[in-house]
Amino acid sequence: MTLQTPPSWLQAGSYSAQSDRLNAQALYSTTGIIGSSSLAVTQNSPAGMSVRVASGWAAIVGDTQPQMGVYTIYNDATSTLTVTTANPSNPRIDRVVVTVRDAYYSGTNNDVIFQVIAGTPASSPVAPATPSDSISLATIAVGAGVTSIVTANITDTRVAVTSNLFSGDITEVT
């Protein structure tokens, strides 16, 4: 990629969404949640084959292509997600993610979605990979033949975003 012009916030400039996301990457260097309670995954009430994702913020560094920048996402209310029916013979591990879909780079959608990616049932299951442009929020141990997901089945996989902002004593800065 070459020098981006016009530079950010130049009077009478015209900027792409990518330019704004690259500016955000000056603040957030990694994918992660913003705030310790953001997007926590919990069992639904009453317990069944679903989970809840809490409200909150996250920053997702686009990785479908280089130089996509950071997408800042916000969920303003608890969302309920369905977990597919358990296999009758083997357990599996599912992954809960939040994914940015940007048609400029891939596909036809311009949105952000929560999804439960079902793992493959096996005697020793492994969690599916986290898709591109996504954050893993939790894994769910789906036992053979179970009819509900409870707290003990949910493992938190959220990580905090890393900031590029200076945090320390700046009294010596001139």
**How far, in Å, CA of 8 to CA of 69, rounded?**
14
**How far, in Å, CA of 156 to CA of 79, rounded?**
16
Q: Where are the beta strands (DSSP E) in the chain?
A: 32-34, 41-43, 50-53, 56-61, 70-75, 79-82, 92-102, 110-117, 134-142, 154-156
Q: Per residue in 3-12, is it b (16+ CB within 10 Å) or e — as a string?
A: eeeeeeeeee
Q: Which of 31, 1, 42, 38 is nearest to 18 (CA)?
A: 1
Query: Which pLDDT does position 27 carry in this prediction?
Result: 79
pLDDT tens track of the chain, all 174 residues?
565 666 666 666 677 788 778 877 777 878 899 999 999 999 999 999 999 999 999 999 999 988 888 999 999 999 999 999 999 999 999 999 999 999 999 889 999 999 999 999 999 999 999 999 999 999 999 999 999 999 999 999 999 998 877 665 555 544
Query: Which pLDDT does position 42 carry in this prediction?
Result: 98
φ/ψ of residue 25, rounded to 5: -70, -20
pTM: 0.86
**How far, in Å, CA of 6 to CA of 126, rounded?**
47
